[in-house]
Every structure is written in C-alpha cells, then in structure tokens.
Structure 1
Amino acid sequence: MSERFVDAVDRAKSYVSKLASQKNNYSENIDINKIWQLNDTYIVSPVDSGIVIIDQMLAHQRILYEGAINFLLNTSSSSPQSQTLLFPVKLKFLPNDYSNLLDALPFLNRIGFNLKKNETNYVVLESIPTDMLRGNEAEIIGKILKNFMSLIKDDLSKEKAIALSYSRHACIKHGDNLNDVEMVEIVNRLFGTKEPFICPIGKSSIVQIPVNEIKAKF
C-alpha cells in the first residue's frame, strides 16, 4: 500500500477519534428546515454552537464508499438497488482497457452496475446504481476503471479500489446545484455512515465554526 494512502488513513483515524463523540450532537442539532447551499459546493446549517458546513462532494463520496464497500465485503448483505437505463448503452474499449474491465466487472456488478460482455472489446451497460446520477455513464465508467487500475498498482485490494474509484467519480460534484430534498437526503445519510466527518481518503467533509470564532470577526 502506498505511503500516501497510509498517511491519509492515519490522519482519518485520528480525526474520527477526536470527533466521534460529536456525531450525535451534530445530527440532532441540524435543523433540516434551515439548511442552504453555498456556492453550489457546501451545505450550511446553523446549530446551537455555531455553524456547520458540509462539503457536498466529499459527503456524497463517504455515502457512496460505505455503501459500496458493504456490498463488496459483506456477502450476506442484500443486493444493491439499481436503476435500469431506458436504452442500454454499448461501450467499446481498447484491448488493454477491455482486459482491465473484465477484471473489474464482477466488482462493478456487485455494487449495482449491470454490465454484460458483448462482442470482443464491447460491453453493454443495462443499469447503474441508484445512488449514481444519470448521464455520462460511459465517461464515468472509464474514469472508474482508470482509477481502479492505478489503485491496485498501489497494492490496494480490488474491493477497496472499486469502492474508492466509484465514490470518487460517481458522486455529486462541486458546482452541482441541489434542491432542498437532495440536501436533506445527503445530511441524513451522511450522519448514518460510520465516519461522517471524513471522505474516504481522509479529507474533512464537515467543518464547524463556533459562535465565538464568528464573534471574533466583528
């Protein structure tokens, strides 16, 4: 495993240990009727102690990662939910990429994709995970595959490599406008994860600004 990834994991564990006791306070104090989106990037909410700011992309990555890793590592878990494409998409790959795709195919199908081998160098995509936004499916799968191959070269397990690659490229992005229902869903699901305060590679997904720090600005 690469030194860079190990360092990120160590930072993540330290951060989670420090903030774990605050999880319930955050989730209970956030008023879903008073959340708003800032710069199409952050979900903001007042809490008793100040303001909580959630990075929408990193939060969604955490949600996707934990969902995917559960299906990949827990064979007794229920099957992932998928959304069937109205028109199946036929994808063509270069020979080397196609070989890599076949290696990743069982793992992709276990997290909600339905990819079937077609003629040589082709696969047909019939459905995608429910949590994945529709549109640009071919581009997203190509990015997942490229990221997957890079991660397994760092001696990461295929399950974790798929989960990380999927969460990175299938997530809501900075710049995506969210409506109130979507923001509430992200907040609720984020606090339902095991490690809501960090994204899968250890970056902070939630920041709190206490009232006293806000007062000090004036």
Structure 2
Amino acid sequence: DLLVREDSADPKEILKAEKEASPPPEVKEKTRDVHSLLDARLIGTLLDTYILMEEGESLILIDQHAAHERVLYEELLEKRKEGERGSPPAQTLLVPVRIAVSESENARLEEDVDYFQKLGFDFEPFGGNSIALRTVPMTAGSQAALDPARAFRSALDSLMAARETGREVDQDEVLHQMACKAAVKAHDRLSPDEILILIRRLTDLTNPYHCPHGRPVALRLSREEIEKRFGRLV
C-alpha cells in the first residue's frame, strides 16, 4: 500500500494539480494516514536511504531524499507566496558566499536582478566574474536547509536555459530544482533527531505523498503482507 495520492504520478500533472487552491477529498482523507507517522516508532534506516518506522501493525519505509525534497519544495512555494504579498522571505548569510560566473552569466545577472530578488537571493559584484551572495530563500528548516551556492546555481542555470530557448522561466520548476539539489541524498546518514524533524515537517505538507518528480515518498507494508511473505498466512 503506497502512502500516495490515488492519481497520476506524472510530475507535470502533479505540479499542475498543486497550483489548485484546495486538495480533493481523497487527499484530505489520506492526510490523516500520514499524520499517524507522528505516533510511529522509529526503527532505524536501511542503506542510509530508507527510514524504517513501525506504526500499528504496519512497517513504513520512507525515501529520505524524496521526503526532504518534498518538504523543501512546499516550503519554498509557501515562502514565495508570502513574497508575492510583500518582500520575499530571505535569510541573510553570516558570511557572504563567493560564486564564480561566466561573462554571459554576469551579463544576465545584471539584466534579471528582479528574478533573483523575487526568489529571495540578494547579491553584489565581487570583482571580475564573480558575485557575493548575501541572502538565500528561506525555508522552515535550519539555515543549512539550502546550500547557498547550489541553490543560486540552480536558479541561474534555469534562467540561462530559458533565455537561450526564448521561453518564460517556470518558477515552480526552478523551486523544484532548488529543492532537489538541496535535499539529503541517498546514503547520507541522518541522526534520529534529524529523522524525526523531517517526519514532523513532512506531516505538515499539503501533499506529502509524492516528491516533485512524481515518485512515492513512502511505502506501507501491513502485518498481513509481511506474514504472507514468511508463509505464516496462506
């Protein structure tokens, strides 16, 4: 049994559906299922990739990258909405990060300052072909939730690709790419505290069932399914 929505797993369809104001009834119903993770017992991790939890008479496996990517993506979306109502939420870096850029990228940065400011980035020239990054988009997690250089590079690459092809920048896709690059990866070792914080943040989401790519975040195995595999039930 997948802890996912009973709809298409096509990423474009999922991103399109998430722009709608209210989730359908079946999503609200399944949200109760996800909230049960708050009472689940943490068993540990498998391959430093999957979080194992016991909830009732079920074993739940959570893909840590997919879960964290989903969390960051929705938090970035929410902060962007806040920014549309005023100044975009951003967190100031204690130490500005120097990022090297090409001559063409530098020219693009000068022309599209508003694009980066709306995302929560603030920067200034830092001699030659480099910039000093001073702020990054804010998320609900710790200040280390987004890697400044990776997040900025992801936004810049998306802008450059869009301008080269003459199309508009897909803001949702930009946030998706930022979340993907910033999320914990398979084989990253998480502490029990980090896992529990991730689970709490996951249960607060509108759609905790798919990562932005459309892959399921979690898989539930019931006691019946497990015992059938071991030949205890016929």
Instruction: State the TM-score, normalized to the length of structure 2.
Output: 0.72
Which residue of structure 1 lines up, in the alignment, with residue 152 of structure 2? 141
Which residue of structure 2 lines up, in the alignment, with residue 198 of structure 1? 210
User: What is the root-mean-square deviation in Å for CA atoms of aligned residues?
Assistant: 3.3
Which residue of structure 1 lines up, in the alignment, with residue 174 of structure 2? 162
Q: Where has structure 1 moved over 6 Å in runs of 4 or more? A: none
Question: Share of identical aligned residues, percent?
Answer: 21
Cα shift at 1:104: 6.1
Query: Residues 147 and 210 from structure 1, CA distance in 2 versus in 1: closer, same or farther, beyond 3 angstroms?
Result: farther
Give the secondary structure class of the aligned counterpart of 1:116.
strand
- Which stretch of structure 1 is more off in the superposition, 204-213 or 139-148? 139-148
Cα shift at 1:169: 1.0
Cα shift at 1:187: 0.7
Question: Once the two structures are superposed, what CA deviation does each residue of 1:36-87 show, in whole Å capped at 9, x if it has no partner?
Answer: 22221122211124111111111111111112122324412775352523x3
Query: Residues 61 and 150 from structure 1, CA distance in 2 versus in 1: closer, same or farther, beyond 3 angstroms?
Result: farther
Residues in 2 aligned to 1:118 and 1:97: alpha-carbon distance in whole angstroms: 14
1:76 aligns with 2:85: yes
Which residue of structure 1 lines up, in the alignment, with residue 6 of structure 2? none
Q: Which one of 190, 193, 196 corresponds to residue 184 of structure 1?
A: 196
Which residue of structure 2 lines up, in the alignment, with residue 3 of structure 1? none
- Which stretch of structure 1 is more off in the superposition, 165-174 or 120-129? 120-129
Residues in 1 aligned to 2:76 and 2:115: alpha-carbon distance in whole angstroms: 9
Residues in 2 aligned to 1:197 and 1:38: alpha-carbon distance in whole angstroms: 20
Query: Residues 120 and 155 from structure 1, CA distance in 2 versus in 1: closer, same or farther, beyond 3 angstroms?
Result: same
Q: Which one of 59, 68, 82 corresponds to residue 51 of structure 1?
A: 59
8 A Cα contact 2:122 2:134, kept in partner: yes
8 A Cα contact 2:72 2:183, kept in partner: yes
Instruction: State the TM-score, normalized to the length of structure 1.
Output: 0.77
Larger Rg: 2
Structure 2 unmatched runs, 5+: 1-8, 18-22
Counterpart code for 1:84:
L
